[in-house]
Amino acid sequence: LISAWTQTPTKWYPLPLAVGALLLVMIQYRKKVARAEKEVHVDHEGQEIIKLKGPWQVHVLGALPLRNMSRVWGYMNSVELPIWIRPYGFRLYAYVFGCNLEEIEPSDLTQYASLGDFFYRKLKAGARPVDNAVIVSPADGTVLHFGTVENLRVEQVKGITYSLDALLGVERFDPGSPTSPTSTVVEFPPAGDMSVVNDREFANVNGIEYSLDQLLGASTPSTPGSMTPTLERSNSDSDIASDIPKKHGAQIDASVEQEGSLQETLAHDASVAQEMGVRPALGEHKRSTSGTSVKEGNALYFTVIYLAPGDYHRFHSPTAWVVEKRRHFVGELFSVSPYMAKRLQNLFVLNERVALLGRWRYGFFGMVPVGATNVGSIKVNFDAALRTNVRGRPPPPGTYTEAVYSAASPLLNGQPLTPAQEMGGFCLG
Amino acid sequence: STIVLVFEAPKSFEFAVKAGQKVKVGNRLGDV
């Protein structure tokens, strides 16, 4: 080796110019791509225009018909399996993806007609003890990232951020603007069996007594302004109108004929609230839709939990809170695996998702289930009207359909949830 | 699939998890 190293003669060749030029072009191209990643394009209203950004793998994926693939995948997994094959098939799936078959309910595998059924399995009662912390995990999975929201930007992974307004949607009332979201407001008949129990300021949510302080906190919560101007009950937002669709902007004022019953109902709520000494949602919890930021002494936090294919895929309430509205963003269905989260900027604001917005004892609370290629369908137990992963070209990013849950409990102005209460789940396809 | 939580809490709120940690429904995520 030493003699080869010392005796081999060194020959010098002139590098062809083209190689040098190619090298320069490569360096320039990488610089341009890096700068394009950093650039943020905004529309005429100052809202960030969400674009597909990332390495070439991301653009290849973006060119695929992900939504159609997801629907075909869902169709395949809804096909009923012969009974004899089910135990073997589901045990194989459980072995490959690490599912714990001891804790599922029903445990008899022949009772699951398809893989889609098995994927949306339930757990045995008591399978998940609930910690008494203010915030508990809403699902089984892996904590991808967490932290505080700085300047309304959420960190996707180290170094990649996306706009919180893009994630949760910004309410715009000027129907003229071409990009104003087509937020159709759909009312629901009272769903929850929410009833005020007695004058000890208790509310009975699905059989469990919760003090209103536990549900809504002692202080009057506020809402960060630019993110989600909360529901302001005006006569055009009649909460008691049953499922009459309304559109912001070209407001189909369905509430006019409801006016009478709305006033009666509010008067009734207020008198009930008065009798029981319980605060009506209208009074103290009416929050401005102006630019109020988070309360003094508070901060905005975020957590991202990734559910792997083998995880239990129903999600539960992370705390005691009231869901006031939901915004359904029809988006793409990129994979949301940690591999993609590290490469595809704006992943969570490009994908189909349902932003559930409301309040808890300390102020604003939002929970956003985000779909993915194999799991494109999102179910919310108290929102029968929600349809996700439907056929058709997705509208531009940032457009959403809105529904309010104020009819679920006029007193709390939304759907009340208790910690670890099942809220819905993700389905295959 | 993924779930993103965004919430307002007092500055004394602290997370009780680490990035990459496996969690199950009901596990403590953080407390004030």
- Which residues, 6 or more positions from A245, have their beta carbon under 8 angstroms from its beta carbon? A184, A185, A186, A252
Q: Is the ipTM of this complex over 0.95?
A: yes
Please tell me which residue, A175 or A30, carries the higher pLDDT value. Answer: A30
The C-alpha atoms of residue A363 and residue A334 are separated, in whole angstroms, by 32
Q: Which residue has the tokens 């009312």?
A: A187
Q: pLDDT-based confidence at A50, cuts 50/70/90?
A: low
A80 or A42: which carries more pLDDT confidence?
A: A80
Q: What is the pLDDT of residue A367?
A: 96
Distance CA A216, CA A286 (A): 13
Query: Do the Cβ atoms of A339 and A163 come closer than 8 Å?
Result: no
Q: β-strand A321-329 against A415-417: which pairing, if any?
A: antiparallel
Give the A window 343-402 contacts with B, CB below 8 Å. Answer: 348, 360, 362-372, 375, 378
pLDDT at A37: 60
User: What residues contact A333, with CB distance under 8 A and at least 6 apart?
Assistant: A66, A67, A70, A351, A352, A371, A372, A373, A376, A389
Residue type, A327: R
CA distances to A14, A30, A41, A161, A276 from A149, rounded to whole Å, are: 55, 30, 21, 10, 39
pLDDT, position A15: 76
Percent of chain A at pLDDT exceeding 90: 34
pLDDT in tens, A58-83: 778 778 888 888 888 888 999 999 99
Distance CA A40, CA A51 (A): 9
Helix runs in A254-314, H state only:
259-276
Count CA within 13 A, CB hemisphere, residue A387: 5
E-strand ranges in chain B read: 2-10, 14-15, 22-23, 28-31
pLDDT digits (tens, 9 = 90+) for A113-142: 999 999 999 999 999 999 999 999 999 999
Instruction: Give the helix/strand (H/E) hosting A424.
Output: strand A422-427
B10 contact A CB<8A:
yes
Cα distances (Å, whole numbers) of residue A126 to A123, A134, A137, A204, A207: 8, 20, 15, 22, 17
Q: Quick one: pLDDT at residue A156?
A: 79
| Contact across the interface for A224 and B8, Cβ inside 8 Å | yes
Torsions phi, psi for A359 (to 5 deg): -145, 160
pLDDT at A48: 62
**Rounded to 5 degrees, what are φ and ψ at B20?**
90, -5
pLDDT digits (tens, 9 = 90+) for A257-288: 333 444 454 455 444 334 433 233 433 333 32
Task: Please indicate if any CB of chain A lies within 8 Å of the CB of B14.
Answer: no
Residue B19 and residue A145: Cβ atoms within 8 Å? yes
Q: Please give the residue that has the higher pLDDT: either A229 or A22.
A: A22
Cis peptide before A106 (omega within 30 of 0): yes
In angstroms, the separation between the Cα of residue A291 and the nearest Cα of chain B is 15
How many other CB atoms are found less than 10 A from the CB of residue A381? 15
Residue A252 has pLDDT above 50, yes or no: no
Q: Are A138 and A367 in contact (CB under 8 A)?
A: yes
Predicted pLDDT at A248: 31
How many Å apart are CA A169 and CA A237, to the nearest integer?
Answer: 19
Residue A32 has phi, psi (to 5 degrees) of: -65, -45
The answer to whether A370 and A141 have CB atoms below 8 angstroms apart is no
Quick count: other Cβ atoms within 10 Å of Cβ A157?
A: 16
DSSP class of A412: T
Q: In whole numbers, what is the pLDDT of chain A averaged over residues?
A: 73
Say how many C-beta atoms besides its own lie within 10 A of residue A173's C-beta.
Answer: 12
- B-interface mutation test, from A134, A311, A340, A353, most B Cβ less than 10 A away: A134
Residue A104 has pLDDT above 60, yes or no: yes
Q: How far is Cα of residue A176 from the mean position of the Cα atoms in its chain?
A: 27
E strand or H helix at A22: helix A17-38
CA dist., res. A203 & res. A272, Å (int): 13
Contact (CB<8Å) A303/B26: no
Residues in A touching B14 (Cβ below 8 Å): none
Number of A–B residue contacts, CB under 8 Å: 183
CB-CB under 8 Å, A298 with B9: yes
Residue A195: is its pLDDT beyond 60? no
What tens digit of pLDDT does each residue of A370-379 get?
999 888 899 9
Determine phi and psi for A118, rounding to 5 degrees.
Answer: -65, -35
Q: Which residue of A has its CA nearest to B30?
A: A135
The amino acid present at A423, given as its one-letter code, is M
pLDDT at A324 over 80: yes
Distance CA A273, CA A74 (A): 47
Distance from the Cα of B4 to chain A's closest Cα (Å) equals: 5
